[in-house]
Each structure stands twice: as C-alpha cells, then as structure tokens.
Amino acid sequence: MSYYDNDNMDQKTMYERCREYYAPEDFVVVQNIDTEDFTYVIQRPEHVMINQPSQVTKELYYTKDPDVVTLQPAQTRMVPAYEADHLIKQLVDKIVFRNRKNVEATGATPQESTNDPATQHKYIKQIFRGKRDFMSEFNAQLQAPQQLENELEQELTSELDQPPTRGPGRPKKQIA
C-alpha cells in the first residue's frame, strides 16, 4: 500500500489531520507537551514579498528574518493556524523519532509512526488546547454597553409605570 493509495482514506498528512480540529483562519492555543524545550523557526507571510515577473517565474523576497520561537515544557502559546500546523508537525516528529530511537536502543520494535492516524490524533489532542474567536469576543464587547443601556432604560420605565411601594420606616402622617 502506498501513501497516495486512494483506497485508504484514513491516511492523511499531519496538516490535513489538523483541519479536523481547527480551520485555517482560526487562532489556536498550543502547548509544548514534551519534557524538553522545543524550538521552531517560522516565517510569517506578512514578511514575504512575492514578485511574479512572468507566468513561469516567481520570486520571493523576505523583508525580515524568520522568527525563532522556544517553548518551555508545558508552556502554551496562541498562534495562527498555519503556525500551529507547523508547530504540531515538528513537535510530533521530534517526540516520535526520539521515542523510536529509545525503543531501538533497547532492542524492542518501534510502536509509533508519524503517519499512523491513531498517533496523529493522540498527539494533536494533547498539543491542541483550543481556539479563540476574536470577532465574536469583539462584537460581544461592542454589544455589552448597549445591553447595559437597555437594561437601565427598562428599569427606569418600569419604575415610572408602577406606583412606589412604601417600605418600613415612619408611618404616613395622619391628617384628621
């Protein structure tokens, strides 16, 4: 069976597997699940200029150097989806290959593969900590003052419609 065999639809790359958890436009919270520091390099798309002088050629110019990010063990970080894809792939590769090296040193057969769907799901579930929706949070902040105004207006109108109730205190003065 080859990697590109169409009969086995369960065989996906790590990037395709990540699409099951979050969309490409999401912001994702990821965590370093390893016991060691994890360093990765990422080039942000806003720092890449693309020049296409003809149909056949494409030139890429980098306006800034790539970012080098180090995550301590158990440290979380919020990143765009493209960076989360890269981070998850690199971290899973590091963990699986280190485990494979340790298993081979003891003489046992390796159990995990980076292309195994169960292994991919296992590690993605551990690394992926959720996503953030900034648009709904922003819209909720914009609507909060309006909701407060509406509640205050309803209180004031309901107080004007009802006669005031007398509470405890001095009795009403009797005129005889």
Please indicate, yes or no, if residue 121 is contained in any of the structural domains: yes
Please indicate, yes or no, if residue 145 is contained in any of the structural domains: no
Please indicate, yes or no, if residue 118 is contained in any of the structural domains: yes
Please indicate, yes or no, if residue 161 is contained in any of the structural domains: no
For residue 4, the model assigns a pLDDT of 53
Q: Please tell me the number of Cα atoms within 13 Å of 37 on its side-chain side.
A: 5
For residue 173, the model assigns a pLDDT of 75
On the question of pLDDT at 163 being above 70, the answer is no
* CA–CA separation, 16 and 9 (whole Å): 11
Please indicate, yes or no, if residue 175 is contained in any of the structural domains: no
Please indicate, yes or no, if residue 8 is contained in any of the structural domains: no
Please indicate, yes or no, if residue 89 is contained in any of the structural domains: yes
State how many domains the chain has: 1
Q: Taking the model in full, what pTM does it have?
A: 0.69
Please indicate, yes or no, if residue 120 is contained in any of the structural domains: yes
Domain that holds residue 83: 14-40+70-134
Q: Which residue has the tokens 């056949």?
A: 56
Q: pLDDT tens across 44-85, in order? A: 999 999 999 999 999 999 999 999 999 999 999 999 999 999
